[in-house]
């Protein structure tokens, strides 16, 4: 039997580097905490002397102003807290959709930089150089002017099959009327996603053991579609849709995206996508050319080389700077106030002007962006550990 190795005890002596490190950290935390307390106390005392109200009790008072675009029900008679929550959801809406679209655009353009087709390479290069070197604020204004000046008025909206309309009033499209069957369909799709992920992991293990590469997209997508359709049938197969309709002065019905939202979303996606494309290009170029030659010697096609050999190794270089671009997109969404989109900054500014609680409103804005940034960083760090190449 092997003897148990005794644990090394920490020597609490000033000569111990570990002990000194702990003491230094505690002292640093105390100094930072004391400095923050001093600033907060000094600010509160100065505000009290000048008769300026402070505190977050105003969040329960009636807001009294309207918000043009909301994801949840909102009425001007509701509280400032509700109004700020509407602004937070609008910010998250732009950030989440923008990150997804930016990833797609950036990866496609970044991979396109290595295309054997000169036209594709040239278009991808031109896209990067154009949108990366124009300030994002100008791009937001450019897209906003396009929607409110170039597009036709709502009564003469461009349409496709009387289903999709695009005008100065925004982009309108059909949506299903929500019923219980759609909840069952969403549940079936979720089960399909779980089954698809499990299949992809099994296919990866089989590829490592046997060298047989199975298609990892067809069956997972089929599972999502089939199980979603099964859930839809079990829920009664709801078929009712809300379809937009051209009226005398407007387009009514269906779902719509306002020009302000579209300007912010497209501007951020095109701008950040150019930087993501360069991140992807740099990550691919960091992979040794010998890896490509070895993959060619094994008989892998160019598509298989990119999917199975190059991109998995490039991810360890791509993920860290890609995280920075996601954070930049989220923080740049605060420029939405320039085109009138009611994000958290816009709503907080209106709240500040009406309530006079400047410190509190600014603190709320800082807390929102700090939370979203730290959450994004934590998620990307977790993913970075998952895709990192494990060395033995």
What's the confidence (pLDDT) of residue 286?
86
At 384 the three-state DSSP class reads helix
Q: From the first residue on, what is the mean pLDDT of each consecutive set of 10 residues in the chain (392 residues)? A: 51 74 90 87 75 78 89 90 94 95 94 90 94 94 92 86 87 87 90 91 84 80 92 87 84 87 95 95 87 83 80 86 94 91 92 86 92 92 78 56
User: 80-149+258-387 is classed in which CATH architecture?
Assistant: Orthogonal Bundle (1.10)
Asked if residue 242 lies in contact with residue 177, where contact means CB atoms within 8 angstroms, the answer is yes
Look at residues 357, 370, 279 and name the one whose alpha carbon lies nearest to residue 317.
279
306: left (phi over 0), alpha (psi -120 to 50) or beta: alpha
Q: How far apart are CA 208 and CA 228, in angstroms?
A: 31
What's the confidence (pLDDT) of residue 369?
94
Place of tokens 């909102």: 74
At 62 the three-state DSSP class reads strand
Tokens of 379: 């998620």
At 356 the three-state DSSP class reads coil
What's the confidence (pLDDT) of residue 2?
46
Question: What stretches of the chain adopt beta strand conformation (E)?
Answer: 158-160, 164-167, 170-173, 175-176, 241-242, 245-246, 251-252, 255-257
Asked if residue 61 lies in contact with residue 355, where contact means CB atoms within 8 angstroms, the answer is yes
Question: What stretches of 193-329 adopt beta strand conformation (E)?
Answer: 241-242, 245-246, 251-252, 255-257
What's the confidence (pLDDT) of residue 120?
92
What's the confidence (pLDDT) of residue 4?
54
Angle 118-132/80-112 helices, nearest 10 degrees?
A: 140
Across the chain, mean pLDDT equals: 87
Place of tokens 């008679």: 77
Q: How far apart are CA 284 and CA 315, in angstroms?
A: 8
> What's the CA angle centered on 358, arms 356 and 363, to 5 degrees?
140
Look at residues 129, 125, 128, 106 and name the one whose alpha carbon lies nearest to residue 117.
125
């Amino acid at each position: 039997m092997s003897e148990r190795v005794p644990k090394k005890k920490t020597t609490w002596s000033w000569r111990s580097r570990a002990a000194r490190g702990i003491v230094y950290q505690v002292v640093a935390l105390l100094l930072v905490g004391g400095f923050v307390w001093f600033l907060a106390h000094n600010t509160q005392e100065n505000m009290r002397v000048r008769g300026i109200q402070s505190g977050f009790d105003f969040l329960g008072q009636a807001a009294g102003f309207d918000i043009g675009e909301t994801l949840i029900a909102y009425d001007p008679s509701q509280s400032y807290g509700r109004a700020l929550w509407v602004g937070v959801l609008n910010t998250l809406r732009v950030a989440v959709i923008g990150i997804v679209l930016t990833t797609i655009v950036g990866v496609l353009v970044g991979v396109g930089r290595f295309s054997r087709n000169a036209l594709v390479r040239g278009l991808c290069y031109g896209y990067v150089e154009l949108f990366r070197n124009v300030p994002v604020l100008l791009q937001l204004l450019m897209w906003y002017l396009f929607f409110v000046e170039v597009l036709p008025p709502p009564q003469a909206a461009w349409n496709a099959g009387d289903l999709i309309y695009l005008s100065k009033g925004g982009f309108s499209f059909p949506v299903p009327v929500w019923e219980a069957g759609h909840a069952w369909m969403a549940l079936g799709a979720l089960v399909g996603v779980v089954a698809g992920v499990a299949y992809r992991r099994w296919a990866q293990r089989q590829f490592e053991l046997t060298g047989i590469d199975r298609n990892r997209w067809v069956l997972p997508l089929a599972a999502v579609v089939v199980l979603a359709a099964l859930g839809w049938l079990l829920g009664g197969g709801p078929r009712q849709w809300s379809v937009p309709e051209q009226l005398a002065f407007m387009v009514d019905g269906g779902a719509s995206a306002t020009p302000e939202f579209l300007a912010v979303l497209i501007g951020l996606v095109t701008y950040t996508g150019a930087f993501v494309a360069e991140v992807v290009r740099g990550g691919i170029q960091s992979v040794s050319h010998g890896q490509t030659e070895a993959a060619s010697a094994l008989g892998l096609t160019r598509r298989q080389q990119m999917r199975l050999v190059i991109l998995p190794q490039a991810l360890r270089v791509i993920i860290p700077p890609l995280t920075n671009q996601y954070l930049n997109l989220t923080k740049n969404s605060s420029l939405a106030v320039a085109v009138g989109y009611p994000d958290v900054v816009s709503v907080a500014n209106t709240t500040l002007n009406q309530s006079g609680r400047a410190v509190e409103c600014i603190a709320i804005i800082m807390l929102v962006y700090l939370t979203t940034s730290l959450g994004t960083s934590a998620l990307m760090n977790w993913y970075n550990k998952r895709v990192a190449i494990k060395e033995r």
